[in-house]
Amino acid sequence: MSDGGLNLDDFGDLIERPSVRIRRRAEERRLRTGLPAKALGRLDDLGAWLAAAQGQVPVTPVERPRAVLFAGDHGVAGIGVSGRPAGTASALVRAVLDGSAPAAVLARHAGVPLRVVDLSLDCDPADLPAEVTRHRVRRGSGRLDIEDTLTSEEAEQAFRTGMAIADEEADAGTDLLVLGDLSVGGTTAAGVLIAAMCGTDASVVTGRGGVRIDDLTWMRKCAAIRDGLRRARPVLGDQLQLLAAVGGADLTAMTGFLLQCAVRRTPVILDGVVSAACALVAQRIAFRAPDWWLAGQASGEPGQAKALDRMAMEPLLDHGVTVGEASGALLALPLVTAAAALAAELPELPEPAAGEAATEAGDGAGDELADRSEAVAEAT
């Protein structure tokens, strides 16, 4: 708990798992469509997951998805750990805003609104629209290898900002969120968080980044993650302090965003290693929270693979997309919306009248058993 009164333990009480009982009903409805079991592959699992998340059968088609990109510069980029120059994340933001970035193209063609939230860009706020910069916590984050990336007060502000963004989207009727980042140095911060959470060495989680780096840059990045780990390990028991020490404002906000999305029962598709790192920290805060998220794609980053394995999450796609910016998650979005459409619109075959009565009786007994199972799961 921070001095400002943000009690992370509350998330453990506020977040419930998607309903096991509703999921079972969705699976039974799918069987009554007459299609062979597993004929739709993973789409069947996604449809049942969405039913449980929505709390209803049949599922409502996904009608109001939205992509949210958290932006920030990381001080550690100044020591040459990234394929991009330090302090240039604002250029990534401008490319998204003018429609030329991969994420912008994908979102436009999918008909998905795209929102950018500046938490710690290293530029004059006047250079970007006010709607982008109004949530900025600071200009750039500190160097995680030698200093805290945020003060305790800034960490709480960033975390609460992420929560507020999640609330705004839920209140606006958004029914599926796509999460991504626009950062320079963000994968280094993600590597520190994942290594700290998984208890592993820097070399195990150090990847080549969205812009593929050479061997010398990789070694500098590995050393920075090693040094960041030395600073992260003493504060592992306090996740907000951990994020302040090595996460930066953007990753801290993304963690708050993910947790509040779970509180508001709003499903989220994760993108690459940065969102996976935030999800891993959020899981440590509230173990039920990952049940509300999907891994959109495998980015090829070893840290992402480590984090997803720890959360028992299997990516929907593996196409070698490394560009970041939620591009991989946006590519996975049509798969999720297709699953929702099939689960919502495939008709059930009519049953004989006598059979219907027997089915209703069986459903009642099965619901009671599912309720008991769900209660046992919650208790454990």
* pTM exceeding the 0.85 threshold for the entire prediction: yes
pLDDT on residue 351: 72
Overall average pLDDT of the 119-126 stretch: 97
In angstroms, the CA 124 to CA 250 distance is 17
Q: What is residue 141's DSSP assignment?
A: B
Tens-digit pLDDT profile for residues 271-286: 999 999 999 999 999 9
Ranges of each domain in the chain: 13-61+356-379, 65-340
* Res. 333: pLDDT tops 50: yes
Distance CA 256, CA 349 (A): 44
Asked if 147 contacts 246 with a C-beta cutoff of 8 angstroms, the reply is no
Is a pLDDT exceeding 90 seen at residue 111?
yes
Peptide bond into 315 cis (omega under 30): no
User: In which residue are the tokens 């990847």 written?
Assistant: 207
Range with the lowest mean pLDDT among 123-127, 161-165, 194-198, 364-368? Answer: 364-368
Report whether pLDDT(233) > 70.
yes
**Range 256-260 average pLDDT:** 98
Task: Give Cα 300 distance to the centre of its chain.
Answer: 17
At residue 346 the predicted structure's pLDDT band, cuts being 50, 70 and 90, is: very high
User: Does residue 325 have an active-site annotation?
Assistant: yes
What's the chain's Rg over C-alpha atoms?
A: 21
Topology of domain 65-340 in CATH is Rossmann fold (3.40.50)
The predicted pLDDT at position 374 comes to 55
Mean of the pLDDT values across residues 106-117? 97
Mean per-residue pLDDT, 163-191: 97
How far is residue 294's CA from residue 262's CA, in Å, rounded to a whole number? Answer: 12
Mean pLDDT of the chain: 92
Percent of all residues in the chain with a pLDDT value above 90, rounded to a whole number: 86
| Residue tagged active-site, from 154, 156, 301, 325 | 325
How far is the C-alpha of 38 from the C-alpha of 46, rounded, in Å? 12
